[in-house]
Structure 1
Amino acid sequence: MATDFWASSHYKRWIVDRATLKQARADDLVYVSEPECLEFLAIYFANIISKLGKKLGFRQRVIATATVFFRRFYLKNSYCETDPYLVLSACCYVAAKAEESPVHIKNVVAESRALFSQEQYNVKHFPSDNSKLAEMEFYLVDDLECDLIVFHPYRTLLALCNKDFGNSNSSSDSPAEEAEAGELGTGIGADDGPRYWGTGQGQLELSEGGLQTAWFIINDTYRSELCLIYPPHLIAVTAIYLTLVLHTPTQNSIAHLLPYSPAFNSDSSNSGEPSQTTPHPRRSSRTSDSSSKHANQQDPIDFLANLNVSLSAIATIAQEIISMYSLWNRYREDVTAEEMRNMNANANMEPEKSSPERFCIRRHYL
């Protein structure tokens, strides 16, 4: 098992460019009027994987892994030549094994049939024979080239936001339980050179609400193909950036750290010699502790600037996430063909103007 992302099959074989993605959908483009329909289809199947995963009691990491398996499979196959419902059920089954949370194949078949038989899906041909799903499992693993190690942005998010992901006392519902080992490269070559993780250096103090917002943004990225294009640590940094920009409570909590804020200027003007009429607090007082914590809080601008990542890449990913939310804002599962044509016509005549703040945190199916 690879514990270093840069030495893993994820990085070496499953980070692709947009030309590869376009070529993978070449056969499906024949059957749609607009390429945007395939993007809607990607959201549709990701939502189904999420719903099936919840019915099977999966954690978010297992659902994310199943979604990545589904995306990887359709890099080599087309929707029109396969049964996506059987494929996504097999992805959930294999992902549960890969993430060491296995479920019985009978449960997967039963829950899949119950979900797909609902009126909104109306899938009548899903097989009840367990051997069909077991056979699909072998086809899936073959197309995945037995590369079942998937790295997600969650661990990087927790590490950068000063959260103790190694605390064994944390609850099972906490984000720390979802983080997988090795995404920060703490396995291979971990003893080479200085270590900074665990020392508190270079970490951003993010509130629980801000952390949840970044977590939800990462969840939403699996509705797109970003997990096939960019390394997970870049997606995690972008989620932090969008949280700092869009999450109002986080903005208020860091306002005094920004150079252009009135609170920062007020603190700077009062940072000279203390008044002689004001007694110095004792070191053991709570005031001293709180002021010390306030002074040591990381400046978010310095935090982003000092990361060893391409800020232009972060800006590009942020724009793609906002575009994904804009697309998702127009997505409906119960739309008819006539309504789709009308929506496309209206979109071409007058594009919808929406604030990015509306997209973030509004829809959380995960």
Structure 2
Amino acid sequence: MATDFWSSSHYKRWIVDRATLRQARAEDLLYVEDPEHLDFLAIYFYELVIMKLGKRLHLAQRAIATATVFFRRFYLKNSYCETDPFIVIAACCYLASKAEEFPAHIKNVVSDARHIFGQEPYHVKHFPTDNTKLAEMEFYLVDDLECDLTVFHPYRTLLALCKSVEDDESEAGEVGVGVSVEESERYWGTGQGQLELPPAGLQNAWFIINDTFRSELCLLYPPHLIAIAAIYLTCVFHPATNETIASVLATAHEPSAGPRRSSRHSDKPVAQDPVAFLAGLNVSLPLVASIAQEIIALYALWERYRESSSSDASTPESTRDDDDSASSTGGTVVTPAMLTQILTRMRDTKMQDHAQQQGRQVAVNRMLERTQGV
């Protein structure tokens, strides 16, 4: 696995611009009434991965994130209306479990996918029972991914730049793979060590990163910029982090009563100003601010997404506060049942158009024809 993001296939081939995203969804736009529904479908598919199949397979968060990135990359080259996203999701989870060394047996993936996708609101009746169909779909998936299975996530940068005030070692073991301070300085060139965040603040930043996978930010921006945007949003909006930062800064600015001591003899380093810390990073702060704005816009959109008309969809892995009232943004509430109908209508209409062009009923996507058992 590549250890340098800048020389990896992730950076060289899988960071795209918005024009590429628009081109990828161009055909889907022909079969959807409201373009905003495609943004809701991005949330819908991620909920399928993380909330349903990924958790049922007991995949780690990193494997779930990798499965999501595989899914987004696949649909840079394919359209929703031409393929079966459900079998693609299952194949992405299966492939990611192996790529991230959390292997799930193909039999379990097929049976769990059939169980989940056959329930409300999905009602997928055509999911294959034959394990070889999923294995075949995995082959097509790897082909479209161009065998680029190396994925970098924002979690590594988050732990490289931040540390828990209470217990660094236990936090790193629980949350993910950490990076040493020396390595962090080599990457960022600040020489300022790490930004101290309270455990709740670090957890909040981690959850913000989880939430970003409900959009296509992982295709648009390098993971380290997403992590910095998550830290910025945590410092601005997380109450416990605000209080801790205010207390630390107030203490740091108090005049010292005793004689001045050399920094070499200090018992602990002087607390850092989070604003100065972020400003010292060798990144484009306007770009980080733009990413933060996109994350906020994602929350505004996600607020209108409900598992049901009276949703209880909030989870410990999310920073969103769900309630049973109408969306505060004033938009229409969208449910998985609605999106399932929209997706089915898109695929049916595409199939009818394709059949009229060919003069006979055919499978929409020949690559998936055998996999779907058509």
Contact 1:162 1:200 in 2 (8 A): no
Query: What stretches of structure 1 of length at least 5 have no aligned partner?
Result: 275-279, 281-288, 336-345, 354-366
- Aligned equivalents of 2:142, 2:233: Cα separation in 1: 35
Asked if residue 13 in structure 1 is aligned to residue 13 in structure 2, the reply is yes
Q: Deviations over 1:229-271 (max 9, x none)?
A: 000000000000000001101100111455xxxx46xx74x51
Asked if residue 331 in structure 1 is aligned to residue 320 in structure 2, the reply is no
Contact 1:3 1:185 in 2 (8 A): no
- Cα 1:27–1:196 change in 2 (3 A) is closer
Displacement of 1:31 in angstroms is 1.3
Q: Tell me, what secondary structure is at the counterpart of 1:205?
A: strand
Matches within 5 A, 1:198-213: 201-213=192-204
Name whichever of 248-257 and 207-216 sits farther off: 248-257
- Aligned equivalents of 2:295, 2:99: Cα separation in 1: 28
Among residues 242, 254, 269, which one is paired with 2:245 in the alignment? 254
Displacement of 1:28 in angstroms is 0.5
Q: Deviations over 1:202-251 (max 9, x none)?
A: 31001110000000000000000000000000000000000000110110
- Aligned equivalents of 2:32, 2:307: Cα separation in 1: 16
- Aligned equivalents of 2:171, 2:95: Cα separation in 1: 26
Contact 2:164 2:202 in 1 (8 A): no
Task: Name the amino acid aligned to 2:221.
Answer: Y
Asked if residue 309 in structure 1 is aligned to residue 283 in structure 2, the reply is yes
Cα RMSD after superposing both structures: 3.3
Residue equivalent to 1:237: 228
- Aligned equivalents of 1:272, 1:135: Cα separation in 2: 69
Q: Deviations over 1:43-76 (max 9, x none)?
A: 0000000121110010000000000000000000
Residue equivalent to 1:48: 48
Contact 2:49 2:93 in 1 (8 A): yes
Q: Tell me, what secondary structure is at the counterpart of 1:162?
A: strand
Residue equivalent to 2:135: 134
Contact 1:56 1:111 in 2 (8 A): yes
Among residues 262, 272, 294, which one is paired with 1:298 in the alignment? 272
Residue equivalent to 1:117: 118
- Aligned equivalents of 2:38, 2:163: Cα separation in 1: 38
Matches within 5 A, 1:341-352: 352=330
Residue equivalent to 2:31: 31
- Cα 1:76–1:185 change in 2 (3 A) is farther
- Aligned equivalents of 1:272, 1:134: Cα separation in 2: 67
Residue equivalent to 2:174: 174
Runs of 4+ residues deviating >6 angstroms: none
Q: Tell me, what secondary structure is at the counterpart of 2:29?
A: helix
- Aligned equivalents of 1:157, 1:151: Cα separation in 2: 12
Task: Name the amino acid aligned to 1:217.
Answer: I
Residue equivalent to 1:63: 64
Task: Name the amino acid aligned to 1:320.
Answer: E
Residue equivalent to 1:362: none
Contact 1:170 1:176 in 2 (8 A): no
- Aligned equivalents of 2:62, 2:186: Cα separation in 1: 27
Displacement of 1:162 in angstroms is 2.8
Aligned length: 310
Contact 2:57 2:108 in 1 (8 A): yes
Residue equivalent to 2:145: 144
Q: Deviations over 1:296-332 (max 9, x none)?
A: 1111011011011100001000000000000000113
Q: Deviations over 1:191-210 (max 9, x none)?
A: xxx8488x983310011100
Displacement of 1:120 in angstroms is 1.6
- Aligned equivalents of 1:249, 1:171: Cα separation in 2: 18
Task: Name the amino acid aligned to 1:232.
Answer: P
Q: Report the TM-score when normalising by structure 1.
A: 0.77
- Cα 1:82–1:185 change in 2 (3 A) is farther
Q: Tell me, what secondary structure is at the counterpart of 1:137?
A: helix
Q: Deviations over 1:141-190 (max 9, x none)?
A: 000000000000001101100369xx8x748971135x6x89x996xxx9
Contact 2:164 2:171 in 1 (8 A): no
Q: Report the TM-score when normalising by structure 2.
A: 0.75
Displacement of 1:90 in angstroms is 0.1
Residue equivalent to 1:107: 108
